[in-house]
């Protein structure tokens, strides 16, 4: 979709009169500069009318499907994206390559109950785990803590953890389970002699999708480890109840996993700038990650994030506007991975970017990442600055979009941009993530999950925020040390 008002006409409007705010009156003879917040409001409202983000996301996900970290698909998508960014008018567009230990599924995986309750289950192996085939008795634990506390002998058995994940708009149920049961579960089960590990997917709904996700690096020496769908976990809970009622014997499970590490390969970040007109070295970094899990087409995670941040800058290009500071859009590679601890690849896309740009970081003004789907942004967080008026101004600008300031939150950016925490201040535009973990890391993460209208609200919020931040002298504060 093209703009109703062309770039040139819009610039004229900016230096003559702002139709949305001013009543009809004769144009002044001498053009007066328009304040940044007024320009930002116009950019914001125009962003709501565009489909740039959705169209980009549609073509990306359609053309390349899944874009697993380090895959040929991720690489081709990066090359296509770079060409696309150049065509859209971005500057300094380039690809930065970095090393990566690549993990991939090599064929169909299966998991099934065998014996008395024989039936197939829906499951996927966890990233970083091992290809293998095993059949053994299942030992079920209702929670991760119950497993940790248990003295049960699981030698030669399959450990099954059935703990469900809490559902919340801010996604707060996820972190404490991805870092424990999913990350540490397979290794902990192996340490206790188990031959397999099964967990309930980190899912917030009841559809029968298994949710992939990274687990701690096992270097191909681990045990088969899978996440089953929430309905399958409920099924195992019901079987456990039948057992306890004396209506069934032990449950055995057969697993066949095909995921494994393929060795040291490469991935890449795509970098594109709107170079600042007055202070080009002062840079605001925004973006998302280009890679995705291999089951879906990575629409909400995280094609949406790169589409939104790219489109926000594109609104400025379409108005022929140059920010005073540089706005740098990064499509990070390989966010969805686990890597060997301590190796040069232990931090991936985001870490590689930080290392490659270490010398510039002191000039980086702020960073943010969109990596939580494309539903409405509900609130924002920005480190308090000496100029508290700036945050008020930003709040006024975002309020018409239904976005308020979360005064209690410390901004931290995303998984990739957050690699710069401690060096570069962060800001957050937080989306409503209530349905995000319904779909996250599943085959169901496709374009169909995107609501174009909510996505445009995201673009509007980013374009307004970026324009204001890129046209001020205000500096933003790093969070206090203990908050990092």
Neighbours of 133 (CB within 10 A): 12
Chosen residue from 65, 173, 220, 395 binding its own copies by CB under 8 A:
65
Angle among Cα 355, 357, 360 to the nearest 5 degrees reads: 135
Contact stretch for its own copies (CB under 8 A) within 18-26, 117-125, 156-164, 315-323: 117-125
Q: How far is the CB of 460 from its own copies (least distance, A)?
A: 25
Q: How far is the CB of 302 from its own copies (least distance, A)?
A: 17
Rounded to a whole number of angstroms, the minimum distance from the CB of residue 57 to its own copies is 11
What number of other Cβ atoms are within 10 A of residue 157's Cβ?
21
Q: CB-wise, 88 or 409, nearer to its own copies?
A: 88
Q: How far is the CB of 244 from its own copies (least distance, A)?
A: 13
119 binds its own copies (CB under 8 A): yes
d(CA 424, CA 418): 9
Number of residues that bind its own copies (CB under 8 A): 37
Query: Which of residues 82, 113, 286, 461 is near its own copies by CB under 8 A?
Result: 113
* CA pair distance 244, 238, nearest whole angstrom: 10
Nearest to 314 by CA among 51, 8, 36: 51
Residue 482: how many CB atoms within 10 A of its CB? 5
210/468 with CB nearer its own copies: 210
- Nearest approach in angstroms of CB 208 to its own copies is 4
The dihedral region occupied by 83, where left means phi > 0, alpha psi between -120 and 50, and beta the remainder, is alpha
Q: Which is nearer to its own copies, 130 or 297 (CB)?
A: 297
Asked if 249 touches its own copies (CB under 8 A), the answer is: no
Is residue 268 part of the contact set for its own copies (CB under 8 A)? no
Q: Which stretch binds its own copies (CB under 8 A): 139-147, 229-237, 272-280, 384-392?
A: 229-237
Burial of 72 (0-12, 13-18, 19+ CB in 10 A): exposed
Q: In terms of CB distance, is 62 or 396 closer to its own copies? A: 62
Residues in 386-445 that interact with its own copies by CB under 8 A: 442-444
Contact 267, 98 (CB under 8 A): yes
The only residue of 145, 207, 396, 407 in contact with its own copies, by rule CB under 8 A? 207
Binder to its own copies among 19, 28, 35, 120 (CB under 8 A)? Answer: 120
Q: Are 128 and 338 in contact (CB under 8 A)?
A: yes
Find the shortest distance in angstroms from Cβ 98 to its own copies: 24
Rule CB under 8 A: which of 33-52 touch its own copies? Answer: none
Q: Using the rule CB under 8 A, is 250 a contact of its own copies?
A: no
Do residues 159 and 255 make contact, with C-beta atoms less than 8 angstroms apart? no
Q: What is the Cα–Cα distance from 350 to 289, expressed in whole angstroms?
A: 9
Please tell me whether residue 54 binds its own copies under the rule CB under 8 A.
no
- Give the closest residue to 467 by CA, choosing from 45, 18, 145: 45
Q: Which is nearer to its own copies, 222 or 298 (CB)?
A: 298
Residue 299: closest CA among 286, 308, 310: 308
Q: Which of 36, 77, 122, 198 binds its own copies (CB under 8 A)?
A: 122
Q: How far is the CB of 32 from its own copies (least distance, A)?
A: 44
Binding letters toward its own copies, positions 279-318, x by CB under 8 A: -----------------xx---------------------
Which one of 84, 208, 279, 324 is in contact with its own copies (CB under 8 A)?
Answer: 208
Distance CA 224, CA 207 (A): 24
| DSSP one-letter code for 411 | P
Check binding of 242 to its own copies (CB under 8 A). yes
Q: CA 128, 129, 132 angle in degrees (round to 5)?
A: 145
Between residues 62 and 388, which has the closer beta carbon with respect to its own copies? Answer: 62
HSE-up of 314 (CA within 13 Å, CB side)?
26
Q: How far apart are CA 31 and CA 16, in angstroms?
A: 6
Tell whether residue 118 is a contact of its own copies (CB under 8 A). Answer: yes
Let me know: does 209 contact 443? Beta carbons within 8 Å: yes
User: Cα separation of 51 and 58, whole Å?
Assistant: 10
Instruction: Pull the structure tokens for residue 246.
Output: 């004396």
Residues interacting with its own copies, by CB under 8 A? 58-59, 61-66, 73, 108, 110, 113, 117-120, 122, 206-209, 230-231, 234-235, 238-239, 242, 248, 296-297, 442-444, 446-448
């Amino acid at each position: 979709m093209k703009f109703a008002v062309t770039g040139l006409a819009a610039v004229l409007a900016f230096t003559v009169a702002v139709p949305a705010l001013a009543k009809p009156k004769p144009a002044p003879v001498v053009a007066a500069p328009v304040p940044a917040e007024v320009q930002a409001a116009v950019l914001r409202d125009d962003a709501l009318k565009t489909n740039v983000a959705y169209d980009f996301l549609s073509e990306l996900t359609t053309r390349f499907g899944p874009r697993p970290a380090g895959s040929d698909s991720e690489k081709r998508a990066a090359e296509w994206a770079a060409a696309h960014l150049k065509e859209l008018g971005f500057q300094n567009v380039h690809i930065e390559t970095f090393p990566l230990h690549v993990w991939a599924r090599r064929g169909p995986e299966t998991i099934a109950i065998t014996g008395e309750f024989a039936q197939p289950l829906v499951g996927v192996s966890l990233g970083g785990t091992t290809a293998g085939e095993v059949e053994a008795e299942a030992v079920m634990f209702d929670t991760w803590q119950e497993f940790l506390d248990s003295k049960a002998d699981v030698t030669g058995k399959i450990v099954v953890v059935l703990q469900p994940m809490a559902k919340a708009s801010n996604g707060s149920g996820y972190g404490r389970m991805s870092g424990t049961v999913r990350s540490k579960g397979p290794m902990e089960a192996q340490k206790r002699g188990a031959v397999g590990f099964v967990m309930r997917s980190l899912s917030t709904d009841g559809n029968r999708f298994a949710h992939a996700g990274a687990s701690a690096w096992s270097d191909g020496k681990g045990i088969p480890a899978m996440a089953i769908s929430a309905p399958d976990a409920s099924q195992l809970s019901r079987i456990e109840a039948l057992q306890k009622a004396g209506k069934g014997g032990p449950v055995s499970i057969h697993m066949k996993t095909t995921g494994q590490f393929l060795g040291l390969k490469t991935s890449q970040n795509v970098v594109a700038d709107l170079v600042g007109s007055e202070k080009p070295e002062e840079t605001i970094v925004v973006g998302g990650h280009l890679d995705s899990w291999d089951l879906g087409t990575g629409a909400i995670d995280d094609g949406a994030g790169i589409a939104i941040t790219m489109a926000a800058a594109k609104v400025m290009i379409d108005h022929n506007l140059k920010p005073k500071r540089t706005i740098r859009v990064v499509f990070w590679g390989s966010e969805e991975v686990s890597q060997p601890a301590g190796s040069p690849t232990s931090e991936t896309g985001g870490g590689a970017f930080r290392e490659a740009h270490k010398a510039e970081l002191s000039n980086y003004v702020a960073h943010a990442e969109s990596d939580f789907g494309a539903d409405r942004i509900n609130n924002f967080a920005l480190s308090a600055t000496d100029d508290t008026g700036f945050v008020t101004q930003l709040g006024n600008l975002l309020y018409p979009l239904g976005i308020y300031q979360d005064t209690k939150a410390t901004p931290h950016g995303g998984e990739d941009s957050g690699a710069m925490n401690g060096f570069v201040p962060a800001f957050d535009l937080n989306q409503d993530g209530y349905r995000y973990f319904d779909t996250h890391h599943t085959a169901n993460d496709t374009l169909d999950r995107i609501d174009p209208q909510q996505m445009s609200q995201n673009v509007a919020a980013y374009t307004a925020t970026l324009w204001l931040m890129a046209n001020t002298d205000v500096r933003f504060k790093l969070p206090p040390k203990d908050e990092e």
